[in-house]
Amino acid sequence: MKYTRTEIPEVIICEPKVFGDHRGYFMESFKEDTLTEFLGYKIHFCQDNESASTKGVLRGLHYQMGTFAQTKLVRVIQGAVIDVAVDIRKGSPTFGQHVAVELSAENKKQLLVPKGFAHGFVVLSDTAIFSYKVDALYSFENERGLAFDDPTLNINWGLEKSALILSDKDTKNPTLENADLFDYNINYYE
């Protein structure tokens, strides 16, 4: 597995070694020991999630607060998406900045989205199957969202706004200025 820090160093692109031949391919999609060695701390994933969506579906920007804050390791099994992680750690040198990466079944890239970041994706292909690991269980009471179209974030989702398909809930998320935020000075991995 190759790990690469993005322009926001805590957000990591993970690229597996893919071994292919006439039968297909094989890859390790997650390896705890090499990720732990790269990060310098251990993440205990407790649940795998999967969603299927059609072109234009935008899910996000989502996060959870408190002890339910989540690290996510995300990947695409079918199709292609633009995946986005937004730094919402007040006091961070990269506060309000984001990383956007195309993840696809073809490129097999994954994105590690740490605690303290809002996360979302938009489907570029006709359909997409999105799979991800989390290190904390879902909590309705601690679930939060951030407006996908907040002008201060200036996220290019790769599609016209009129082509986007959102849940009712995701059309009502607050802007960064009005959102619940994390504190950069707290270590959420202790």
What tens-digit pLDDT sequence spans the chain (190 residues)? 999 999 999 999 999 999 999 999 998 999 999 999 999 999 999 999 999 999 999 999 999 999 999 999 999 999 999 999 999 999 999 999 999 999 999 999 999 999 999 999 999 999 999 999 999 999 999 999 999 999 999 999 999 999 999 999 999 999 999 999 999 999 888 7
132 as an active site residue: the answer is yes
Of the residues 63, 98, 119, 132, only one is catalytic, namely: 132
Of the residues 3, 41, 62, 189, only one is catalytic, namely: 62
State the sign of the Cα–Cα–Cα–Cα dihedral 109, 46, 131, 65.
negative
Confirm if 126 and 52 have CB atoms less than 8 A apart.
no
62 as an active site residue: the answer is yes
Candidate CATH numbers 2.60.120.10, 2.60.120.580, 3.40.50.1100, 3.30.70.260; the one for domain 45-183: 2.60.120.10
Tokens of 131: 């799979």
Distance, in Å, from the CA atom of 182 to the CA atom of 87, rounded to the nearest integer, reads 9
Distance, in Å, from the CA atom of 125 to the CA atom of 78, rounded to the nearest integer, reads 9
How do the domains of the chain map onto residue ranges? Answer: 45-183
Tokens of 138: 């879902």
Query: Quick one: pLDDT at residue 188?
Result: 87
Distance, in Å, from the CA atom of 134 to the CA atom of 45, rounded to the nearest integer, reads 5
